[in-house]
Structure 1
């Protein structure tokens, strides 16, 4: 089943500490990964920021396990969203400093988002399930 890319951005939530750390990461990566760093910066800027003590049940945060569907292929994937130093694609650990990782942050089950790949292709994914750190 093929879905068209989404143009409207879904509302997202992130914790205050994650917003600060991700903001620093985006700034530090601006020269090395300009497009992804800019996308991540835009995502955290538009996010609703909640206190660090607030439970984010069902919302993708750092270290969350996420099952999502690639809307172009219909394939489902399960990944853990991590900081770049912990990334290991073979182990299913996706960096927040990748287009998919930056797209996932702050989403909840049922939400979809479009993003651009490094090759300039527009893609869309839909979050199916979120588990882990609340």
Structure 2
């Protein structure tokens, strides 16, 4: 049975307290260098519901999560959401300080995330599966 895909509601984002604090600080520190992305990340953190790490559902994207997503053509890709110092596009390690990274944080399986690329193209991915960060898989 195919799962129904819905656009992530604008008022629904769930993040851990640790991620919230680190991401808010990272966004503020990045305002001069990446103003658009930093503002978007701050906006996401402003509307976030903060939860304890142990209370996070496994199907929510958080820092360190590996995401399986499908584009409009049906092609799937795997990516891991990371902090900028850990980013490696060749290894599909996507920085939170990219438009895609910011769109992913707090998304859940079954949601469609939208973002604009830096050259202005509108993109979308359907979240098919989420693996929690390795430390939380124990």
Instruction: Name the TM-score class by shorter chain.
Output: 0.7 to 0.9
Give the number of aligned pairs.
128
Give unmatched runs, 5+ long, in structure 2: 1-6
Counterpart of 1:113 in structure 2 is: 113
- The two structures have a TM-score, normalised by structure 2, of 0.84
In structure 2, how many angstroms separate the alpha carbons of the residues matched to 1:76 and 1:111? 15
After TM superposition, give the deviation of residue 26 of structure 1 in Å: 0.6
In structure 2, how many angstroms separate the alpha carbons of the residues matched to 1:8 and 1:130? 18
- Superposed CA RMSD: 1.8
After TM superposition, give the deviation of residue 7 of structure 1 in Å: 8.9
CA deviations 1:72-97 (Å, max 9, x no partner) are x4432100110000001111111111
Is 1:39 the counterpart of 2:40 in the alignment? yes
Greater RCO (Cα-Cα under 8 Å, separation 6 or more):
1
Tell me which stretches of 4 or more aligned residues in structure 1 moved more than 3 Å.
none
Counterpart of 1:48 in structure 2 is: 49
Residues 22-31 or 118-127, more deviating: 118-127
After TM superposition, give the deviation of residue 56 of structure 1 in Å: 3.0
- The two structures have a TM-score, normalised by structure 1, of 0.86
Give unmatched runs, 5+ long, in structure 1: 1-5
Residues 44-53 or 96-105, more deviating: 44-53
